[in-house]
Amino acid sequence: MLDIKNIYKNFGDLQVLKGVSTHVEKGEVVVIIGVSGSGKSTLLRCMNLLEEPTFGEVWMEGRLMTPPDPYLHREVIRASNTYKKLLSEGLDDDAAIKKIKDEDLLKERHPRVEGKEYAALLKKIYDENGIDINLGRQKMGMVFQSFNLFNNKTVRENITLAPIKIGKQRLKDAKKRGESVDKTPDDIVRAANEKAMKLLERIGLQDKADVYPSTLSGGQRQRVAIIRALAMEPDVMLFDEPTSALDPEMVGEVLDLIRDLVKDGMTSVIVTHEMGFAKEVADRVIFMHDGVIAEEGTPDEVFNHPKNPRCRDFLSKVLY
């Protein structure tokens, strides 16, 4: 469902991700672990494009979320002027492509420099496969370490804001296209509110529907943040260290909720330091180190029989 292809991410001169590829199947639970600075949060944020990858592509349900990366498409490389120049210098197809990839020779910033055909091909790839970033994000839910509930909205409004705004916009667009609509804006509002109350009941916070987030505890806020993301009915949930900012006594209630979701079959990618939890819910564990995936496998493989020395080092420090 979610395909990460050869992601590089640079912040200025600092290379944080150095060529990460993975994919997430429907219903899979992937847990990412590693030291601070290994790039795990960055990787997660690249998945819903909160960070734009410097190179590489992100595909969601078969649709391209990032701009096309020419280095991942041989036919595009072959259409470039740089390639043609290398061929004329005597290199053959494979060598030329390898040289271009290794030395980052394509002028990506100025696609016109590489020729009209090159630019046209890139455009074609995007036109055929691309998806509007907002649409893509509507299918992904993100939960942040610092909750990020909307301070100027009540709990209920936090949950219903996106469904209502986006629902109403869809109605408007459909009407503009001339399609027949069977819902009114009020229906949208009502449905959103009903959904919100149901979700709040699920976590037992229905009494807090009309208070402001500043009055809630950390654990309550994070659980509201999770159901806020769920209100959009995403196909995959991304959790960025969801319990790292919580007092210990509240970690449990949040993990319980996540466990519930996972049991219900929600595709999830979780960055966390909670190793016990990871062992319990993960289908696959990824250990990141220094911007690359250093170790990958089932929880049993990674936690009990780590092959990578760095991973072993990390685990020995973390699991005491």
Partner 1 sequence: MTFFTNIANIMAKYWKVFLIQGIGYTLLLSVIAVAGGAFFGSLMALAKRSKLRILKAVVNVLVEVVRGTPVLLQLYIGVFVFPMVIPRLSSLPYIYSVSIVLIINSSAYVSEIIRSGIEAVDIGQMEAARSLGLTQRTAMLSIVLPQAVKNILPALGNEFIMVVKETSLASTFFVGELMTAYLKVKGYTYLTMECLAIVGVLYFAMTFILSKLLKGMERRMKARA
Q: Which residues form the interface with partner 1 (CB under 8 A)?
A: 48, 50, 134-142, 144, 146, 148-153, 161-162, 165-166, 212, 214, 225, 228-229, 232
- Tell me how far, at minimum, the Cβ of 195 lies from partner 1, in Å: 14
> CB-based contacts of 36: which residues, under 8 Å, 6+ apart?
none
**Is the CB of 128 or the CB of 132 nearer to partner 1?**
132
**Is the CB of 50 or the CB of 97 nearer to partner 1?**
50
**Is the CB of 87 or the CB of 245 nearer to partner 1?**
245
- Tell me how far, at minimum, the Cβ of 163 lies from partner 1, in Å: 9
- Tell me how far, at minimum, the Cβ of 226 lies from partner 1, in Å: 12
**Is the CB of 149 or the CB of 311 nearer to partner 1?**
149
Q: Give burial (CB, 10 Å; 0-12/13-18/19+) of 214.
A: exposed
- Tell me how far, at minimum, the Cβ of 277 lies from partner 1, in Å: 22
- Tell me how far, at minimum, the Cβ of 216 lies from partner 1, in Å: 15
**Is the CB of 88 or the CB of 214 nearer to partner 1?**
214
- Tell me how far, at minimum, the Cβ of 221 lies from partner 1, in Å: 12
- Tell me how far, at minimum, the Cβ of 153 lies from partner 1, in Å: 8
- Tell me how far, at minimum, the Cβ of 263 lies from partner 1, in Å: 24
**Is the CB of 5 or the CB of 228 nearer to partner 1?**
228
**Is the CB of 5 or the CB of 137 nearer to partner 1?**
137
Dist. CA 279–CA 127, nearest whole Å: 41
**Is the CB of 170 or the CB of 263 nearer to partner 1?**
170
- Tell me how far, at minimum, the Cβ of 49 lies from partner 1, in Å: 9
Instruction: Convert 32-70 to b/e letters by CB count within 10 Å (16 or more is b).
Output: bbbbeebbbbbbbbbbbbebebbbbbbbbeebbbbebbb
SS3 labels along the chain: CEEEEEEEEEECCEEEEEEEEEEECCCCEEEEEECCCCCHHHHHHHHCCCCCCCEEEEEECCEECCCCCHHHCHHHHHCCHHHHHHHHCCCCHHHHHHHHHHHCCCCCCCHHHHCHHHHHHHHHHHHHHECCHHHHHHCEEEECCCCCCCCCCCHHHHHHHHHHHHHHHHHHHHHHHCCCCCCCHHHHHHHHHHHHHHHHHHCCCHHHCCCCHHHCCHHHHHHHHHHHHHCCCCCEEEEECCCCCCCHHHHHHHHHHHHHHHHCCCEEEEECCCHHHHHHHCCEEEEEECCEEEEEECHHHHHHCCCCHHHHHHHHHHCC
**Is the CB of 144 or the CB of 303 nearer to partner 1?**
144
